[in-house]
Amino acid sequence: MDSSDAWPRPAEPVEPEPSRWLLPDHGPNDESDMVAVGADLEPGTLLAAYRSGLFPIPIPRRRIGWFSPDPRGILPLDGMRITRSLRRSVRRYQVTFDRCFTEVMANCGDPRRPSGWIDQSVIDAYTRLHRMGWAHSVEVWDDDRLVGGLYGIRINAFFAGESMFHHATDASKVALVHLVEWLRGTNARLLDVQWTTNHLESLGAIDIERSAYLRLLEDAVTDTTRQNDDDPPSKGR
């Protein structure tokens, strides 16, 4: 199918109550990726964090660590590398957006995965943001079986990719291809992948300095240019 057929229709997200916490955009000595500990996972806190360059990861003793890596990983929207085999996989699977957000998160948070950090508190927090229009998922299907996907946060022209999973060859990569197509087609400017890995670098991800990232972020989160209401609506399976 045409990937644009599955795009979520742009809608005005619901702005939550402001956070009661003051969050930094970097650490006191700029030497650590974790720049703060504490606060909460309320919608207003999460959005304030992303707007200032932070993202949360639970740490021991039921606390929340807030991270702002230096360097920061991004995937340039005009720089994704798609191999011939990946193109074949793109044609093989079906893709939807925002059809089973919580199920995607649960797969990303599978406790059998190494370094798993997506616990129920995180799933609940991002599901609230999803219902408010800020968090999105991409689902990859092989017939009626969910075999891959990803989720993240969109704020105007910015998308923060949080996590992805696959249960079939190339399924998470296919989700990323469709995410990039959606972002390019709706005038996004910045796709944050937090930290680069060999896997992400093979797809075109690069590292940039934190200071450069924060400048790009400020421009993207304040850019309200979006695709118009003639966009194709999201289609169900």
What is residue 3's DSSP assignment? G
Q: Which residue from 144, 126, 124 is spatially nearest to 135, judged by alpha carbons?
A: 126
pLDDT of residue 32: 77
From the number of C-beta atoms within 10 Å of its C-beta (0-12, 13-18, 19+), residue 30 rates as exposed
pLDDT of residue 156: 96
Q: Which residue from 151, 161, 155, 150 is spatially nearest to 196, judged by alpha carbons?
A: 161
pLDDT of residue 2: 53
pLDDT of residue 230: 38
Backbone angles phi, psi at 27, to 5 degrees: -80, 170
Model pTM score? 0.90
pLDDT of residue 8: 67
The class level of CATH for 72-221 reads alpha beta
All structural domains of the chain with their residue ranges: 72-221
> CA–CA distance from 69 to each of 19, 76, 98, 128, 133 (Å)?
22, 17, 28, 26, 26
pLDDT means over runs of 10, the chain (237 residues): 60 92 74 89 98 94 92 97 96 97 93 73 96 97 97 98 96 97 96 95 96 96 71 39
pLDDT of residue 5: 63
pLDDT of residue 11: 66
